[in-house]
Amino acid sequence: MKELLAEYPQLKREDIFAAMAYGAEMSRDRYVDMPMEVAK
């Protein structure tokens, strides 16, 4: 969290927690297919 706040000073701790909560909520009900890039 310290690194994120240092890199993005416009963010607050609450913003990061809100993003984490949103991600957790979205992953609860849905499966999201994330295509993986294959190294050639």
Q: Write down the pLDDT at residue 12.
A: 96
Q: Write down the pLDDT at residue 40.
A: 62
Would you list the domain boundaries of the chain? 1-30
DSSP state of 10: T
Mean pLDDT computed over every residue of the chain: 85
> Could you tell me if 11 and 4 are in contact, meaning their C-beta atoms sit under 8 angstroms apart?
yes
pTM recorded for the entire structure? 0.61
Confidence of residue 39 (pLDDT cuts 50, 70, 90): low
Residue 11 burial by Cβ neighbours in a 10 Å radius (0-12, 13-18, 19+): middle
- Residues 20-33: tens digit of each pLDDT: 998 888 777 666 67
DSSP state of 9: T
Query: For residue 28, what are the CA distances in angstroms to 8, 22, 23, 24?
Result: 28, 10, 9, 6
